[in-house]
Amino acid sequence: MRTHIYKNFYLFVLMKKTKENYFSTTLFLVFKKLEISIFGKFFLIFLYY
């Protein structure tokens, strides 16, 4: 019973980590794409201010 709980916890942590990694990679790719275009830079400035 105890090992089952630990296994579930481990899976939960693993899922959370992969989800975060996936999210950050997507953000990174999006920013890279935006970086290429000058319009993207203007859009980012517009977004933040």
Q: Is the distance from CB of 27 to CB of 19 less than 8 angstroms?
A: no
Position 44 scores a pLDDT of 66
- Give the rounded percent of residues in the chain with a pLDDT score beyond 90: 0
2 pLDDT band, cuts 50/70/90, is low
- Give the mean pLDDT of the chain: 73
User: What confidence tens digit (pLDDT) does each residue in 17-37 have?
Assistant: 777 777 777 777 777 776 667
Neighbours of 4 (CB within 10 A): 8
Position 15 scores a pLDDT of 75
What mean pLDDT do residues 6-18 have?
Answer: 77
